[in-house]
Amino acid sequence: MEQDLATLAATVAELKAKAAATGTTFSETFYFLTIPLMVLIHVGFLAYEMGASRSKNALASGIKNILAFAMIVPFFYFVGWWIYWAFPTGFDLSAGPAGISGLDYANSVAAPWSEFMGPNLDDRSNGVFWGAFVMFAATTASILSGALIERIRLTGFVVLATVLGGFIWILAAAWGWHADGWLVTKFGYHDFGAAGVVHLIAGAFTLGVVINLGPRIGKFNADGTANAIPGHSMPMTLVGLMLIIAGFWGFLMGCVIVPGETWSWSTSSFNTIYGTPMTLSGMTFNTLMGMAGGIIGAWMITRDPFWMMSGALGGIISCAAGLDLWYPPMAFVIGFFGAATMPFVSSFVERLKIDDAVGAVAVHMYLGFWGVIVVGIAAQGYPALAGESTIDTSFLGQLVGALVMIALGFFPGYGLSWVLKAMGQLRVPAEAEILGLDKTKVPASAYPEALHPTVTPAE
């Protein structure tokens, strides 16, 4: 009898070990797949911004995106990842109630010299989870990029993008996208799909920068009226936007804590980053419904293919904070309303003589704000964290979170761009802007056949 019990115990232990190994493998694979999907976001931004630029600036617009992506990766390795685990409770570096924050914890899992920041075979998920966050950082910087096309210096842009992606956004994530974040534990802030901690903060940062950068030459007339400056390839822009949406699925996958993941509150269910329950099924329903609502809403208002595709992205952003909560028809309505009102916000920004070349402030700042606030309107009372006796989501908490994101984005964006402007490192000279950045800054030609037609020798 004792031998049978011992055999049974050994079998159970073996099955548990195999289940744990399977869960870890699933977790590792899940996050690993988010990375190439999120790279599609950057493929999309590349095509989107080059298409939205005039042909004389197409390659310059692409180069700044590629270089910013490359700069953010090492900066995030050495600084950004550590910030996420060190600062959730504020600047005192103390640990929060979940115990996964503070100076000691950050040093143990995220300092560059930590064993978890290298090829540690015993911890197979940390590197790919870090990789997913790097893609979030790079995406945040890409949101900034489009608004500034055709007149920003490459060096100034790289500085701005690196600070936004490697420091500012990850600090916002520590505060509002972490189980120990003070916005979560004190105010019940809920932002599952990062409407606030990615889109709102990036849009606010962008607004601060474009104010100092100023409009493109020829954008505004002496009487204040605006001129349209169309890009050279609307099809390229539309394809780019669709690629961003395809990559958005990887972005949303990265918002999920999966069974078997090292920091999961549960080994048997999918959770939000706050430890609250969610399902991939619900996320799928609501993402597609929000996207469809956004397309229809923007199309009904503008009949413009650019805004229609921007509306697809805007519909998802509108629903993002509550993708784990919405009843699918509700997601459709939220996406529809956000995208239908988005063009009016863009027009208002333009009337302020602010040249946002691709409507980033309307798409990301405005709809990021809407996405956060609508959770406080339609989903208040939902537990903000896993466990008993936790604070609930509320309108006040969502409003506080949204205002923090605006301030944390706008003031650094404005202040840093002001310094760069004073140093002469923000904007290219007028002569270079008129001639085209490709001709003055890039040792290549985007369309050599078109720009330099072949001359047939006279017979």
Question: How confident is the model over 51-69, as a mean pLDDT?
Answer: 93
CA–CA separation, 32 and 245 (whole Å): 19
Using the predicted structure, report yes or no on whether residue 313 has a pLDDT greater than 50. yes
Average pLDDT, the chain: 89
CA triple 93-179-279, angle to 5 deg: 160
Using the predicted structure, report yes or no on whether residue 122 has a pLDDT greater than 80. no
CA–CA separation, 164 and 137 (whole Å): 8
CA–CA separation, 383 and 393 (whole Å): 6
Cα–Cα distances (Å) from 237 to 56, 234, 248, in that order, read 16, 5, 16
452 located within any domain: no
Supply the CATH number for residue 441's domain: 1.10.3430.10
Tokens of 34: 């988010």
Over the stretch 234-270, which tens digit does the pLDDT of each residue have? 999 999 999 999 999 998 988 888 876 555 544 567 8
* Domain, as residue range, for 437: 22-446
If you average pLDDT over each of 68-72, 220-224, 260-264, 298-302, which comes out highest?
Answer: 298-302
Q: How much is the pLDDT for 260?
A: 62
12 located within any domain: no
CB 163 within 8 A of CB 68: no
Using the predicted structure, report yes or no on whether residue 64 has a pLDDT greater than 70. yes
CA–CA separation, 371 and 335 (whole Å): 9
CA–CA separation, 175 and 186 (whole Å): 10
Sequential DSSP letters for 155-198: HHHHHHHHHIIIIIHHHHHHHHSSTT-HHHHHH----TT-IIII
For residue 225, with 0-12 CB atoms within 10 Å meaning exposed, 13-18 middle and 19 or more buried, which class applies? Answer: exposed
CA–CA separation, 149 and 355 (whole Å): 10
Q: Of all residues in the chain, what percent carry a pLDDT higher than 90?
A: 72
CB 152 within 8 A of CB 216: no
Using the predicted structure, report yes or no on whether residue 308 has a pLDDT greater than 90. yes
453 located within any domain: no
181 located within any domain: yes
Q: Which residues are registered as beta bridge partners of 257?
A: 271
194 located within any domain: yes
Question: How confident is the model over 115-141, as a mean pLDDT?
Answer: 84
Over the stretch 390-444, which tens digit does the pLDDT of each residue have? 799 999 999 999 999 999 999 999 999 999 999 999 999 999 999 999 988 888 8
Over the stretch 134-150, which tens digit does the pLDDT of each residue have? 998 999 989 999 999 99
9 located within any domain: no
Of 119-128, 153-162, 432-441, which gets the smallest average pLDDT? 119-128
Range list of H helices, 231-327 = 234-253, 280-302, 305-320
201 located within any domain: yes
Q: SS3 sequence, 394-419?
A: CHHHHHHHHHHHHHHHHHHHHHHHHH
Residue 308 CB neighbours (<10 A): 21
212 located within any domain: yes
Structural domains in the chain (count)? 1
Q: What is the Cβ-side half-sphere exposure of residue 359, based on CA atoms within 13 angstroms?
A: 26
